[in-house]
Chain A
Amino acid sequence: MMLPLETLQLLGFGPGGWGLPLLSAAGVTVFAAILGFGLGSALGVIGASLKLSRHIFPRLLGQTYTTVVRGVPEILIIYLFYFGGSLWLTGIMNIGGFDGFYSLPGLATGVIAVGVVSGAYQTEAFRSAYLRLDRGQIEAGRSCGMSRGLLLRRIIVPQTLHFALPALGNIWQSALKETSLLSVIGLTELLRQTGIAAGSTHQPLLFFSVAAAAFFLIGRITGRLVRRVEDHMNKPWRR
């Protein structure tokens, strides 16, 4: 049985304490999640525009993106990006005269992988939010002489965002948790760091509990933030 004082030391910031590595790993997790989600938002907007296009080819492209990505396990997508990207990079380097195997940087690959997955879900969130727009809102803008750009900026984007926000909040939570899968490509995020700590201290239960608590906490705090934005954006719609 572990004494509380010893536990504190293990998790602390003093000598033999895992506090600092864990904290910086949590930072990597949040950083990867934010960048991945951000990339996903960009992809989501593009994907939604493709799927809402009047023409068949862009629609098919968007359709393929969301169906394939959502139908394949996330961890496989991460592997495919990592190993596929590394082979590709190695090929280029070898052509350039640099021999040996080159692997992609873990963080960049991870962000892209999380982004691509998140983007597929965000595509659906943006698409269905756009479809909920009342056509009269757009007509009123056109009838006042608004240009396409103005209409987009002043009417369509704010209202679509309002409708998309609840779904985006859920997708953010998924993206946050998905970053733990990046441990498989060697990114020292929260899960991998706790794994290392658990291995070297033989205290797996302690460290994995800490990791779980950390994920939960980050999720709660960011969830609150999202809720606040949501409340703010909901204000006009309340009677």
Chain B
Amino acid sequence: MTSDLQQAARANTAAVPAISVDGLHKHFGTHEVLKGIDFQAHDGEVVSILGSSGSGKSTFLRCLNLLEMPSAGRLRILGEEVGMKKVGSSLVIADQRQVDRLRTQVAMVFQNFCLWHHMTVLENLMEAPVHVQRRVRGEVRDEALAMLERVGLQDRAGFYPAQLSGGQQQRAAIARALVMRPRALLFDEPTSALDPELVGEVLKVMRDLASEGRTMLVVTHEMGFARDVSSRIVFLEQGTIAATGSPRQLFGGGVSERFDQFVSRFNG
């Protein structure tokens, strides 16, 4: 009986996209960065968001966590519509508490890691679960240590970020996102600030997460990751989705001329 209910609940949540966006616009002053984006990410999808610089891919990702406020459009996280109201010509958050609650569900991993300098790695991991989600400290601690082991940093729990390499910092930042038990992970060019020899260790963690069935949205320039790991590619150009499809479709060529040109520049 209980398991039936649980299954029904699971089936129900599976039908609701983790993230859903309708007609998303964003402009900075008169410069329009996003020109109407419709997008859905379902549980277990790994979506690579590609595009040349200035295409709006980072802005798009940041809108999903409300680090950037959309100028127009609707955003639903776990089926819950994010309340926005119009003040003058721009949108503002209607209910800050709702946004703060939903943000832990779409955890962000930044290009520059952005671990908090004044906390140890373990403290970084425990901060949001304990102070934002108000979970029990002891349990969070165990989970955080387990996450550190997952990303291969079990012996770095007491270190400060400044004592770690870039690759280690980014792995810790991924663990920090995971401890919040988010429904989806947002990666904003997670390997772009790393020395080339450190990119591999971060990509490996991301591959492992993808194979676990995590929902991931990844803004990246790593064509190998996009082709081999993601279940779907979204190619942005000048603020619109210029092409989308499975990696096999898109990388096979012939779907979008612009995408083919974009890829050829990487293989050049």
Contacts and interface: CB of A to CB of B under 8 A. Distances in A.
Interface in B80-102: 96-97, 99-102
Interface stretch (A27-35, A107-115, A155-163, A190-198): A155-163
Give the secondary structure class of A's interface: helix
Interface string B120-131: 100000011001
Contacts of B108: 140, 143-144
Contacts of A238: 160, 162-163
Interface string A151-173: 00011001100100000000000
Contacts of A144: 103-104, 107-108, 127-128, 132, 180
Contact of A145 (B104, B114, B120, B162): B104
B154 to A, nearest CB: 20
Nearest to B99: A145
A55 interface: no
Contacts of A235: 160
A237 B117 contact: yes
A141 B131 CA distance: 11
Given A144-B128, A144-B180, A159 B96 contact: no
B225 interface: no
A136 B119 contact: no
A239 interface: yes
A200 interface: no
Contacts of B101: 145
B160 A136 contact: no
A236 interface: yes
A222 interface: no
A143 B113 CA distance: 12
Interface string A228-239: 000001011111
A137 B116 contact: yes
Given A139-B110, A144-B180, A235-B160, A155 B100 contact: no
Contacts of B160: 235-238
A224 interface: no
B255 interface: no
B24 interface: no
A143 B131 contact: no
B118 A236 contact: yes
B173 to A, nearest CB: 8
Residue from the set A137, A145, A233 with the largest chain B CB neighbour count within 10 Å = A145
B114 A139 contact: yes
B118 A139 contact: no
B110 A145 contact: no
A173 B110 CA distance: 41
B100 A147 contact: yes
A15 B100 CA distance: 70
Contacts of A147: 96-97, 100
Nearest to B164: A239
Residue from the set B99, B100, B110, B120 with the largest chain A CB neighbour count within 10 Å = B100
A155 B116 contact: yes
A147 B85 CA distance: 19
Given A140-B116, A238-B163, 12 more contacts: A137-B116, A142-B67, A143-B67, A143-B110, A144-B108, A144-B180, A155-B116, A159-B116, A236-B120, A236-B162, A239-B162, A239-B163
Nearest 8 pairs of A and B residues by beta carbon: A140-B114, A145-B103, A144-B128, A145-B100, A143-B108, A136-B114, A236-B160, A145-B104
Interface of A: 134, 136-137, 139-147, 150, 154-155, 158-159, 162, 233, 235-239
29 contacts: A134-B117, A136-B112, A136-B114, A137-B114, A137-B116, A137-B117, A139-B114, A140-B108, A142-B67, A143-B65, A143-B67, A144-B108, A144-B127, A144-B128, A144-B180, A145-B102, A145-B104, A150-B132, A159-B116, A235-B160, A236-B117, A236-B120, A236-B160, A236-B161, A236-B162, A237-B160, A237-B162, A238-B160, A239-B162
